[in-house]
Amino acid sequence: MAAGRAVDTLMAERLSVRGLSPLHRSVLDTPAALGPHARLDLATQVEMPEADVSRVIGDLLAQGLVQVMVVHIGGRHEVVTLTPAGTAAVGAMQDDMESVQEVLLASLTRGERTQLHYVLRRVYATAARCGGVRSVPS
């Protein structure tokens, strides 16, 4: 648990330098990974109230990281997509995550890192089977 809090703290610090929060990251990561999303679907995907996601989308619009298009298919929907700057921001956040990982794992040998990865994947897979997470990462 302490390691998880350390990762969260380090990532939050890196994000705040970019003017972002963990929720901003979740909202950016979703269309980056899954493509454009309607505002309501995005809120469902990141498991946050629509009002919070709408506020974050407003922040991201102001920073030029997303754009919102109105489409009329079965009613009016606002679809959120990444801009080129948003795509670059997602890449920078991934670089930050790798940097945080390197800091936290610096004292481990390559073999120890492989073993840790294997053990954590098993724990995560068990959590997924129990319904605690949506899917097992690669």
91-104 exposure pattern, b = at least 16 Cβ within 10 A, e = fewer? eebeebeeebeeee
How far apart CA 106 and CA 40 sit, in angstroms, is 41
How far apart CA 13 and CA 85 sit, in angstroms, is 20
* Residue-level pLDDT at 80: 94
Q: What are phi and psi of 78, to 5 degrees?
A: -100, 115
Whether 136 shows a pLDDT value over 50: the answer reads no
Which pairing describes strands 37-38 and 76-82: parallel, antiparallel, or unpaired?
antiparallel
Q: Quick one: pLDDT band at residue 133, thresholds 50, 70, 90?
A: low
* Residue-level pLDDT at 131: 75
Q: What does the pLDDT look like over 54-66, one tens digit per residue? A: 999 999 999 999 9
